[in-house]
Amino acid sequence: MSSAGLQILGSFLAIIGFLGDIIICALPLWKAARALVVISILVVLMGLLLTLAGGKCTNCIEDEEAKRKVAIAAGVFFIIGGILCLIPVSWSANTVIRDFYNPILSNPQRRELGASLFIGWGSAGLLLIGGALLCCQCPKRKDSGYSVKYSAPRTAAGGGAYV
């Protein structure tokens, strides 16, 4: 990553996704598969701690190569947290849609897609995008020590006119 701006943007998106993750866990509208959401929150929290340590703007780690590796690890944690958030949200949406078209269930038993599902999809997407931005760290180029030099073309032997 050539600029700290992309790293800050990725961290910001992941923080918003983390807050959305906490909201869907706390809302009483959706309580199914809460265990995966709690695991997602813990994984994203680890990613946030790694982001703070491996940020280009921080002095926690002095070596630039180590900072890159820590930022990539934070991005991987965010991606895993986004997937762990996406699984229960999509699973619950599938259950709601399947039950909605079930002819055996009466109208009061049918549920509709609620705000928690939409917040969950949004937070999972933000976590995935933020993690992908943090994983875009470019490795530092290693100089081979050999510099390419241009040598001027030489004329034919003798330097005289060619007949």
> What local confidence, expressed as pLDDT, does residue 125 receive?
94
Token readout for 111 is 């549920």
Q: What digits encode the pLDDT tens for the residues 20-55?
A: 888 888 877 666 577 888 899 999 999 999 988 887
Contacts for 138 with CB less than 8 Å, ≥ 6 apart? 1, 2
Does residue 150 lie within any of the structural domains? no
pLDDT category at 127 given cuts 50, 70, 90 is: very high
Structure confidence at residue 30 (pLDDT): 61
Question: Model-level pTM?
Answer: 0.76
CATH assignment of the domain containing 95? 1.20.140.150
Number of domains in the chain: 1
Q: How many CB atoms lie within 10 A of CB 10?
A: 24
Distance, CA of 161 to CA of 97 (rounded, Å): 89
- Judge contact between 91 and 33, C-beta under 8 A: yes
| Model pLDDT for residues 52-81, shown as the tens digit of each residue | 888 777 778 888 888 888 888 999 999 999
| Within a domain: 26 | yes
